[in-house]
Amino acid sequence: MKFNYFFRILISFLFLSVNAQEPDWSVDGSKYQFTMNITTFLNVNGTTLSSSEDKVAVFVGEEIRGVANLAYVAKYDKYVAFLTIYSNTSSEQLNFKIYDSTNDTVVNVIKTESFVIDSSLGSVFQSYSIANPELSSEASLLSFSFLNIGIVEEKINGNQRDFVLPIGTDLTTLKPQFTISEGAQLYVLENIQTSGQSIQNFTKSITYSVLSENQAVLNTIQINVTVEEKSVNPPVVVLSSEEEGSVNTIPVSVSLKTNVSLAEFNENNFVLVNALVSSIKEESDLSYTIEIVPIQQGVFSIELLEGRLYNLENEPNETSSKLSFIYDAVNPYVVAVKRKTPLDEITKNDILVFEVVFSEDVEGVSITNFKSVTGANISVEKSKQDYTYEVTVNNLDTYYGVVPLYIIDSDKIKDKAGNLLINSVFNAYQN
């Protein structure tokens, strides 16, 4: 937005020339054989001009071919200029200048047009744009809903939108809420609409028209609204979460999806084990986000039993849904490092096998996590015993002395919840 504003200001400085008084523009139509008509609105630096003292002139080279002041049209609450352009030949290039009476300036317009004999451009409703800088041609309906009314179902098919609203909704006095392209306007039968204020009777289809900022593009959208039938399906509610298994951050977000609109509910509708509901947020009529917090370490869960949530006809859900997690905020650590083979304290073997025991099941254990003497080769294999890895150090046939085993890069080793290993261990054995 700021970029567009300053860009417009910059362009205006490039094409504005200041006059001390109103320009004396005039044309003698009797000198010309042909005419062309344009119904136009004027805009300078994003402001639509709205004074009968504002005017526009058409030039071919330095010769004036048409002049018109703005006139107010009450039916459309709009100022337009009814411009007649004169010429003796077709296809002449037409250039425009605007006189802005408020700022007493003449603006040279970048846009040009070609003279077409007996042609007409623009209307009072959809006027031809003479503006500097040029205005947007975007004309899209970006969103559409209804003030204080939930939507049971919405279908979009090209330029048609079908809505189903809850049982009991009065379709005769709905207030649509909408967003459209920047600078555009929304109309019904050429009557401008205001989001959240304009009232419409939707017992029949209504055609909306989106008029672009430069009024060159007019797109229509048909809106159909019905009320859901009384035989609404019972709720089918599913709980899901992007989090799985063990977690170490809270709160945990749980998604609740349903096939129909639900009556109001709260945390008391759920069965919680070792957990509390911290918030419930309605994302749409069919989607909610529930945040839960474990009370203490260990397993916690949220469950929706049958018959706990109701649709708007007071019919309960028929199936249950449950999610379970493990809250683990404790970092894993190394319990022990001991030699598995050979068992002799002093040995001539050039292969030593160590057992590294962690406090819980961990991931990310590899040869890069261990270091021994220079020239030694290291391999790592998960043991059949819980939380244990076998680390083999070989290529020691020419080495004499204490053989150390270091655990390094411990920030790569994590438990199932993502908690990092909190310590590294050094053990020494003599060869």
Q: φ and ψ at 276, to 5 degrees?
A: -130, 150
Interatomic CA distance for residues 247 and 103, integer angstroms: 65
State whether the Cα torsion 296-301-305-311 is positive or negative: positive
Predicted pLDDT of residue 231: 58
Q: What pLDDT, in 10s, does the model give residues 28-59?
A: 999 999 999 999 999 999 999 999 999 999 99
Q: Is the pLDDT score of 111 beyond 90?
A: yes
Show Cβ contacts of residue 229 under 8 Å, excluding neighbours closer than 6 positions. Answer: none
* Alpha-carbon distance values, 268 to 146, 258, 325 (Å): 30, 18, 20
Task: Flag whether the pTM goes above 0.85.
Answer: no
Q: Is the pLDDT score of 14 beyond 90?
A: no
What is the percent of the chain where pLDDT is above 90?
A: 72
Q: What pLDDT, in 10s, does the model give residues 387-406?
A: 999 999 998 888 888 888 88
CA-based nearest residue to 327, from 274, 267, 253: 274
Show Cβ contacts of residue 193 under 8 Å, excluding neighbours closer than 6 positions. Answer: 176, 178, 185, 186, 187, 208
CA-based nearest residue to 81, from 20, 138, 122, 134: 122
Predicted pLDDT of residue 4: 43
Domains, the chain, ordered by start: 2-132 (no CATH), 141-227 (2.60.40.2340), 237-327 (2.60.40.1220), 334-430 (2.60.40.1220)
